Structure 1
Amino acid sequence: MMKGKPLAKVALLAILVLLLGLKTEPQPVVDLVRQGDVYQSRKEYSAAIEAYRQAVALKPRSAVPFLRIGQVYLTQRRYESAGEAFGQAYELGAKEEALAGLGLVYAGLGDEERAINCWRQALSLDPGEAAVRYRLGRIYLEQGDFQAAQQEFEALIVQDEHNPAAHYQMGLLLAGHDPQQATVHLTKAAGDSQEYDCPVCSGWICNPAAGPPDLQCGGSKSYSFTDAEEMLAALEEVEREENQARAVALLGVAYLERGELSLAKRQLERAIQLNSDYAEAYAYLGHVQGQLGQYEAGWDNLVKAVTLEPDSVLAHYFLGVTYRSLGMWKEARMRFWRAVNLDPNNAALCVDLAQAYLEEPDYVAAEGWFRAAVQREPEDARFQVILAQFYVDRVYKVEEEGVPAALRAVELDAESAMAHDVLGWAYHLTGRWREARTHLQRALALDPDLARAHYHLGALYAARGDGEAARREYQRAIDLDSEGFYRRRAEKALEERY
């Protein structure tokens, strides 16, 4: 693959890749799959599934529609359904593509070893498949198997010396022990990423009609030009730090900020080896271990941080986060309370404390701390939206407090889709349907993919007796909600009403 390949040519090649599996299919099947691809590109996933299933009905022995169905379900994080579709595609002969998809399914379900096994099998069928090799390298890195990860990314660079994603990953891997070489890789990543449509597959694999880039080529854990630039800046900051332990810890925090937990853990452990009384490093390490599911070790390190520095806001906060992740809300609340007392002007800590009270549930205390967050940051729309959501989503004091809070949120940020959605829903709950419709439609104009706004608008239309419009909005909520909360509510509404 040559650097600087014209983007128009790359796009054409991507389309050819998309259509390759269709060249031997009957024209009606081709038409249905293409129709499904169009729906998928518009995130109309239910319609896409229906088109692909019609293609299956016309030619049950074709693997192509099953591969597309698997892609759609992956987009929605419906992993079991995706696995069934890819399994059928595998049985019908699309082994390489199905194995790549099954690897994504297992990775999504947290079964890393089975994901690795699928991707290794896929690479045995086609060693040049860059997307699969990239995914394999990423999962090794996340597991902390840095040598195996480096081998995969080096192989990608051998295939294409200008692969920016591979250079970025190499930069991450080398930053802790060979910053000079890391800088070389990150500089190449920053420069080369501007030459390509997609930093992983360079536009050869992913394209809008083929589904989201992260499902096509592994781009979900890729990077942007800005990421490479920011990592270079982090390395410069580390280089300027004279205290060796602090320099090592700074890089660990930079990894943590980018979600690179295994790399952060390694770096923070090194910082503690250099300074066994480094309370901040213990706090960060304990938090990282908690994020990795290593709760006992993480708890020990957080307690060590508090022992070394009893007034560490960071340590108390991270202990609260650990307790919260374990569902120990009383203990979490106590730690957040301590953190707020140590840092009384921190609005974000007030929100964490309020949310802990919500779990008891103690709405009075929660309300007080949500309001405290707004008082500390009165011009920050984010905290105003959170306050309004508390009233509206809990259907608590909606008329007297929820509507004014949502109005203030929109006043602070008129371009916030969430603010308009919350205000629209508050108006709906208080019987002001015209104002509700106006703000819900405005929310969707600002963010057409906001599933909760589609659900709320569907509920409004249903209440007004407009069944067709309600079904349309509920269906969009079902298509777009990858977390499942509004999807389930919309599905229930459709079952009960229509």
Structure 2
Amino acid sequence: MIDNTENYFDDDALESLERFETMLKHNKPCYFDVHEFENLVDYYLEDHKLAKATKVSELAIQQHPSSISLQLKYAQVLIGRGEEIKALTILKKLKQIESTNKNIYILIGNIYNILKKPQNAKIQFDIALNLCYDDKEDLLFSIAASFEQLGLYEMALPYFKAGHKLDAEDPEVLFEIAYCYEKLQQDEESILAYKAYLDLDPFSDNAWYNLGILYNRNDQSLKSVEAYDFCIAINDKHSKAYFNKANALALCDKFEEAIKSYIEYLEFEDDHASTYSYIGECFEKLEEYDQAMIYYENAIKEDEKFDDPWFGMGLILLYQDKIDECLVYLNEAKNLDDTNPDYWFALGSAYSRIPDAQKAVQCFREAINLDPYDPTYAITLAEFYHQNSKEEAAIDVLLESLGCCPEDVQLQNNLAAYYMLAADANAAEHYLRKAMANPENKIEDIFIQFPELENNNKFKQIIKANQ
């Protein structure tokens, strides 16, 4: 006999199901009324038995050819079988017979969504809503969910919000509103909606988790940590909460606490390589380089094709001025991912210390080409040229970078300094004036980077004249 039928049927309906199963087994025709057929189709659809649902619906139409409700059930079965066009043909005929039946429009709307015609679906759904007088909240939720499943959050949101107006105490609707806002990158609205949801259901670990993601995305790392703590307190098996909490703690420079949370995360997940690498990075930030190297090595043992730990080990060796060793690791990281500008930049820094000017310039240049909107790379290459008494080359690099970052104050300051060192006071004054127009510019810092200008009276006069 079929399992779990009591979850779907009362005694009378169960008797209908047994009669139908017996009929199939012995191939003997049997009569069922319309209501019985409807229950049978619903049961088999719920149980994902499309073949039997098809047999029921076809027999139902044979026995009751004029029943609108059974033809609707047959259309549902066809949709389940992926025969949307055939179902649509039936539904359009039914619409001409019974134009006020909202279920016809709902099914047509679902078909249009399946066919990736959401605007057509919306027209049908809105007609169904106008014909709906009872349980409107349920229909609104169903329509919104159909758009949400397609990733059409902007279309789903108004229906969820309309449902919320009808029942402000429905937590499920509030959660979906928050989720849609989150997907639409409307973070403030999403945060407010999740908070409202948590007022109704404070023990939802998923809501606290999503709230933590939003806080972290909006540079509110401490609030993010708090949200993840609530999530973990409710569900101490929510593995991703440990991982995200660790990331948030690292962003707050709370590296020791971050390490603890990463280690807790290791108990749940098999993705040890990246977690070991993150732990290594935390130890690196704490300048506990021996511990950092251990975890980076563990990460490489887990996955030797993972570039992050190779880069981390290379950086530590660079800090320790072990250039020959660091080049091995940095080159391996670069070989694994040659599109990461930081890898090329670190290689440029390493080659500049040997010194191997040609390779240093080549690597710095590659970093700039990969990310021309980070002025750090150009500023460092210009400094390398300056150290080698190539002021004109330094100026050219910074002018090129200024084309991508025209408002960057440090680029303007450094250009002023290099022009002054090249004895072009007019150009120096031009860039100093632009830099000093920015109230956040700390012009005195220029003498830290360029101590040789400390005694340059002309340069100081230009600064004083523009203060």
TM-score (normalised: structure 1): 0.44
The TM-score with structure 2 as length reference comes to 0.46
Instruction: Tell me which of the two structures has the higher relative contact order, counting C-alpha pairs closer than 8 angstroms and 6 or more residues apart.
Output: 1
Larger radius of gyration: 2
